[in-house]
């Protein structure tokens, strides 16, 4: 399973990539807006920092606008994956852009039927937003499980990118469900590494070592 960071923060991305466990990044218009920097230089910098795929989202909502913006975004760097929303025009845009050799991450997926159509249109990634479903008292992880099963049974090659991740349990459950990618905020990546018993155990080892007074 690949790990992506869900951020447009250059400092978070540099730190994540330096850890050696970050395979890519997802952005969206809200995350870009948070950075308060001109769009082009920001995303060019991100594409240079991250070794793997960088999802950049279109903001047009009509088919013509999406494919125009998608073609422009794809030219920014070879690792760009264009993000299109899961609307009727967005599905058409997936088919069109995929036909031009541009990879598409279909975003804002909230149902298995949407995911089925997106895969048929040729999406490279499908992004079910599980945290936002949890927020409205639907079990987001059920959607991830359903999509993984449908794609496996039907032989679709679209990769399941579990998105809207809010906590470490989401990551564990998405991994168990068979998601190809999980994209998470930097804070969740940090939570994945931490365990109080690790900290306590390390302290005890170092205290005992200090008492011995030896050197390696
Ligand atoms: C995914 O690509 C989205 O950017 C993201 O996961 C949305 O997460 P949120 O629901 O926490 O905003």
Integer CA distances (angstroms), 111 to 38, 70, 82, 145, 147, in order: 34, 24, 21, 11, 9
In whole angstroms, how far apart are CA 7 and each of 24, 70, 175? 10, 20, 20
Distance 103 CA to ligand 1 centre (A): 19
2-212 maps to CATH 3.40.630.30: no
* Cα(211) to centroid(ligand 1), Å: 49
Question: Is 83 one of the annotated active-site residues of the chain?
Answer: yes
Atom of ligand 1 nearest to the CA of 26: 2
* Cα–Cα dist 121/126, whole Å: 11
What's the predicted TM-score (pTM) here?
0.96
Residues 160, 106: Cα–Cα separation, whole Å: 10
**pLDDT tens for the chain, residues 1 to 216:** 999 999 999 999 999 999 999 999 999 999 999 999 999 999 999 999 998 999 999 999 999 999 999 999 999 999 999 999 999 999 999 999 999 999 999 999 999 999 999 999 999 999 999 999 999 999 999 999 999 999 999 999 999 999 999 999 999 999 999 999 999 999 999 999 999 999 999 999 999 999 999 999
As for ligand 1, residues whose beta carbon falls within 6 Å of it are 6, 26, 28, 107, 127, 129, 131-132, 163-164, 183
């Amino acid at each position: 399973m690949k790990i992506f960071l869900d951020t447009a923060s250059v400092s978070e991305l540099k730190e994540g990539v330096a850890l050696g466990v970050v395979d890519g990044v997802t952005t969206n218009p809200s995350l870009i807006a948070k950075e308060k920097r001109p769009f082009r230089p920001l995303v060019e910098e991100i594409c240079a920092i991250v070794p793997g795929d960088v999802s950049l989202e279109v903001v047009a909502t009509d088919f013509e606008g999406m494919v125009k913006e998608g073609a422009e975004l794809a030219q920014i760097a070879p690792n760009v994956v264009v993000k299109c929303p899961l609307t009727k025009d967005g599905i058409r845009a997936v088919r069109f852009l995929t036909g031009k050799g541009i990879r598409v991450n279909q975003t804002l997926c909230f149902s298995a039927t949407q995911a089925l159509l997106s895969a048929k249109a040729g999406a490279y990634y499908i992004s079910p937003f599980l945290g936002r479903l949890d927020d409205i008292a639907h079990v987001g992880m059920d959607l991830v499980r359903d999509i993984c099963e449908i794609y496996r049974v039907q032989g679709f090659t679209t990769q399941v990118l579990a998105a809207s991740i809010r906590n470490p349990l989401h990551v564990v459950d998405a991994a168990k469900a068979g998601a190809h990618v999980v994209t998470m905020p930097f804070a969740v990546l940090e939570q994945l590494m931490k365990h109080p018993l690790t900290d306590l155990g390390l302290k005890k080892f170092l205290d005992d070592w200090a008492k011995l007074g030896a050197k390696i």
